[in-house]
Amino acid sequence: AYQDIEDEDLFKGEDSSEEEGEMIILGLTLLLEIRYFEQRTHVIKSKNWRCNILPNYDDIRFKKIMRMDSINFQKLISVLNPLPIFQNNSNNLQASVELQLAVFLKRIGSKENIFEISS
């Protein structure tokens, strides 16, 4: 009878170990389904600067911000536009070449580090 109780306790231990293992696997699976651990806040972005302000800068101001003059900026856009990397065949819209280039030039020319830029 003592041996039966001891064997029974051993099996209970295995069941709880299996349950713990299943719980861990279930927990990890649930974590994989979550893309972000914290709620993200949506940041409203204005097209006003890109569409209305940037094109109206004089050459000196444009070059100070974009690190190139507006004529070369437009020439570079015409070179980049047909490249396959800027062609998007998915349902997710890709930002225009002009916007991507403007953001890149502004960030690369900024004295701020990446953490200051992104905040």
Cα–Cα distance, 40 to 114 (Å, whole number):
19
Picking from 24, 6, 5, 4, the residue whose alpha carbon sits closest to that of residue 16 is 24
Read off the pLDDT of residues 73-86 as tens digits, 9 standing for 90 and up.
Answer: 999 999 999 998 88
Read off the pLDDT of residues 63-114 as tens digits, 9 standing for 90 and up.
Answer: 988 889 999 999 999 999 999 888 887 787 888 899 899 888 888 877 766 5
Read off the pLDDT of residues 36-59 as tens digits, 9 standing for 90 and up.
Answer: 667 767 666 678 888 888 888 999
Picking from 6, 34, 106, the residue whose alpha carbon sits closest to that of residue 66 is 106
108 within 8 A of 67, measured Cβ to Cβ: yes
66 within 8 A of 102, measured Cβ to Cβ: yes
Cα–Cα distance, 48 to 64 (Å, whole number):
19
62 within 8 A of 10, measured Cβ to Cβ: no
Q: Locate the domains of the chain by residue range.
A: 1-40, 48-118
Indicate the residue type of 36. Y
Q: pLDDT value at position 35?
A: 67
Indicate the residue type of 84. P
